[in-house]
Structure 1
Amino acid sequence: MSLEEFYDELNYVDASRKNRLKYAHMVLNDISLLPKLIDIMFRVDDKISCRAAWVFEFVCDHYIYAIVPYLDVFCNQIKNVYLDSAVRPVAKVCCFIAQEYDSKHPNTLKKTLKPKHKEQIIEVCFDWMISDQKIAAKAYAMDTLFILGKNYSWVHPQLTQILEQDFQMQSAGYKVRAKRILKKLNK
């Protein structure tokens, strides 16, 4: 399938879980579609990029190692994503990466995720935390920063400061997640 054909196909992606899963399986069954999906996802001024991000999230949820050959592209481009509907799934993928990296078992991401990648993810997560993002993106950013911050002495103090500073002005959902992260940070 050509890039243009795949782009047209993404017009049929909707927000339903069943639909996003269908397209994720299409990509997982033909992994040559993954670089095309990533290309479309990072066309950040195009509304179809959001649909690509939804599918990409499901691909990574089912097989996080699919991202490994594209870590450079992903980490270099995530800072450019700004549409709300794309930021949330991209933030969730950052969280998947952090969780897999933090796994107690040896895995491919532990070997391939370079300090540069972690720093790029940390930077964009802090940007999401201090900008006007929806709660879901901030929640995934909190979790990612907590996990990756274990390797950087400056991250946890910065995260604590942001959470405490923003706590009173945020939604109930934010407060629940922030309390949980603050409790972990204070141990």
Structure 2
Amino acid sequence: MAELQKKLDYVYPCRESRLEVAHEILENPSLYNELILICFSPQDKNNHKACWILEFVSYEELCWLQPHLDFFCSNLKILKDESSLRPIAKVIQLLVKSHYKKEENCVTLSEQNLQDCIEASFDWLINDVKVATKAYSIRTLYILGNHYDWIHPELKVIIDKDFGDHSAAYKAVAKEVLKKIK
């Protein structure tokens, strides 16, 4: 793990820095397994940086997650750091979208994987996490609600209850999704 750890030590929040390491992983797929392990090692000082990189890698090679889905989905609940949650919430959204896309289905989530994604998304939506994580969770739950009839009514209740307490960004996503639900 030393090689990837060294790279992560020098990752900064700016997009260019994250993209640089993501490209290195894309060029060296052998580092991918380590990246996944670091993402779900909250005690690792570079845990959040690994999550940032995983998001960028997932835009290009979401299919690489397929053999790791059971591990990924079953460990969502161990993530607590805000800097880790946002990119992982985005990866979940990408996974769920891909799972239900008929034409280019590159990932297939098991029923247990889907349940883990639903649980994590609802947890993030109702707990005190930053708005970007909540926004990704709302969009993910909307997609899932097209396949699980109980999700949209639950999502609507939560959005309606919390609407007044949130930022303009949250309200924009909430309005967009509520329009689609009705």
**TM exceeding 0.5:** yes
Which residue does 1:91 correspond to in 2? 89
Q: How far apart are residue 170 of structure 1 and its match? A: 0.8
Q: How far apart are residue 6 of structure 1 and its match? A: 1.4
Following superposition of structure 1 onto structure 2, how do residues 153-168 of structure 1 map, counting pairs within 5 Å?
A: 153-168=149-164
Q: How far apart are residue 154 of structure 1 and its match? A: 1.1
Which residue does 1:56 correspond to in 2? 54
Conserved? CA contact 2:98–2:106, under 8 Å: no
Conserved? CA contact 2:96–2:144, under 8 Å: yes
Structure 1: 5+ residue stretches without partners: none
Which residue does 1:185 correspond to in 2? 181
Which residue does 1:146 correspond to in 2? 142
Structure-2 separation of matches of 1:137 and 1:46: 21
Work out which of the residue numbers 111, 121, 127 in structure 1 matches 2:123. Answer: 127
Which residue does 2:166 correspond to in 1? 170
After superposition, the C-alpha distances for 1:122-157 in whole angstroms (9 at most, x for unaligned) are 000000000001000000000100101211111111
Structure-1 separation of matches of 2:111 and 2:68: 15
Q: TM-score, normalised by structure 1?
A: 0.94
Which residue does 2:106 correspond to in 1? 108
Structure-1 separation of matches of 2:143 and 2:104: 16
Q: TM-score, normalised by structure 2?
A: 0.96
Aligned-residue Cα RMSD (Å) equals 1.1
Q: Runs ≥4 in structure 1, deviation > 4 angstroms?
A: none
After superposition, the C-alpha distances for 1:83-112 in whole angstroms (9 at most, x for unaligned) are 010000000000111121222314231xx3
Q: Higher mean Cα deviation, 100-109 or 19-28?
A: 100-109
Structure-1 separation of matches of 2:105 and 2:149: 24
